[in-house]
Amino acid sequence: MNHNNAGGVHDDGKLWGGRFTDGPDPALERISRSPRRYFDLAPEDIQGSIAHLGELERCGVVTAEERAELAAALRRIGEDHVSGAIAPTDADEDVHGYLERALIERVGSVGGKIRAGRSRNDQTSNDLRLWLRRRIDEIAARLGQLVETLIERSEDAGDAIVPGFTHLQPAQPVLFGHQLLAHAQTLARDLRRLAAAREAVSLSPLGAAALAGSSFHGDQVAMARELGYRDVIANSIDAVGSRDHVIDFLYAGASIGTNLSRLSDELILWGSQQFGWIRLHDAWSTGSSIMPQKKNPDIPELTRGKASRLQANLTGMLGVMKSVPFSYNRDFSEDKHYAFDTSDLLDEVLPAITGFVRTMSFVPERMAEQAAQGFTLATELADWVAEQGIPFSEAHDITGRAVVVCEQRGIGIEDLSASDLASIDSRITADVLERLTLESAVSRRSGGNGTAPSRQGAQRERLRREIAEYQAAFAPKEEQA
């Protein structure tokens, strides 16, 4: 089919300009031009354009022959963009103008028909939604690998006992595996947050056009389903004027960053000389340029630092949205900056921290040395006294006096003899001694969520079931067809 070379894109690569007598000032062009990274949305923009052609055919704007020709041209443009055979120029204001220019250059003026019934306002929302859907699935897979690694390492830890901490002070003995499982649990909930973010991007904004809706409408639901959306956003102004789906993704990213930061902080502590609970693998740690003996936990340190950017991206986007009139505004172009940065950061930190956790080795003898330090068995004594019918408030006071005796003598609670304990309170008998061991302390915490060895297998299996439920939300089969 032959077409003339006239089209809807101006020589300067813009999709507008007919009512202007002067060209834009260079300063306006600089601030208005999309950063080169935003052109990475070309595959999603093409995907949306091909679906839009179906809508145009249904309402008679293009013929079946034109639809087929334009769709084929768009697919070739997409292939050429990915291969680098074509690329945006400095004159291309954004990805939409770049692709429309490329289309008209290839097929002539008929390419300009594709703009009927749509606006960059609904296009840009659609592009980022499709991109986020794909990226959320990929990030969820990586996060799932980290959670499963933590579950596996909690099993590897066996019955190794460490001091549990509150306020960073020794509190009660716990299984080291139970501590690892706690981190797995928090990160598993981040899978749920990603699933919620994915649900938020599952509605199509197409058909909203600039804000009032399109007069070229055949079957918006069919167009949405072609793109894998669950439905169409019910209100056209909401479709172009909201970015809460981006905020949901950034919130999930900020939560992942916060939880990774807490895990990283403990990994750093556990690998320090003061703790010595874990040893760092050579391939997942670094050295010092001046101190030959050093082995540094760079991965958790870098992860902890990057968590601040994950949090900042959320607050930044919330700031963009807080005071704008309810419809499309150019302020919204910042959404891609925050979404891309959060996506990139998670791509960096998740594989790195997973490898660090997978390859670290445990030092159970160091854990055992420290498990009872700081009078972590004091609660065992208080519990035993309370079990004798003595009010816990009084049991608490008796145990406090026992701790004072231990401090004065430089010994632990477990080192007190039966006569030592009887001298503190005559109601304490030798029966208590079998309770003042690390093994007894952890085994007695046998409630459903407790640290007892007998509960760990069930906790791991329950968590795996929860993860499977969350992961069902990602990449549904109908979207993979």
Which positions are catalytic?
A: 167, 288
DSSP string, 356-402: HHHH-EE-HHHHHHHHTTTTTTHHHHHHHHHHTT--HHHHHHHHHHH
Q: CA nearest 160: which of 180, 174, 181?
A: 174
Rounded CA separation 327/394 (Å): 65
Cβ-based neighbours of 263, under 8 Å, separated by 6 or more: 183, 187, 300, 353
Burial class (CB in 10 A: 0-12, 13-18, 19+), 404: exposed
Strand duo 231-232 + 203-204: pairing:
parallel
Of the candidates 412, 378, 384, which has an alpha carbon nearest to the alpha carbon of residue 166? Answer: 378
What is the DSSP-derived secondary structure letter of residue 169?
Answer: E
Contacts of 481 (CB under 8 A, 6+ apart): none
Distance CA(202)–CA(209), nearest Å, equals 18
Tell me how many helices (H) and strands (E) the chain has: 18, 6
| Cα gap 91→89, rounded to integer Å | 5
Please provide the distance, in angstroms rounded to a whole number, between the alpha carbons at the two ends of the chain: 32
DSSP string, 216-251: --S-HHHHHHHTT-SEE-S-HHHHHH--HHHHHHHH
**Rounded to an integer, what distance in angstroms lies between the CA atom of residue 142 and that of residue 355?**
11
Backbone angles phi, psi at 108, to 5 degrees: 85, -160
The span from the CA of 321 to the CA of 242, in Å, is: 8
Query: How far is Cα 315 from Cα 309, in angstroms, rounded to an integer?
Result: 10
Q: Is-contact 70 107, C-beta < 8 A?
A: yes
* Cβ burial, residue 307 (10 Å; 0-12/13-18/19+): buried
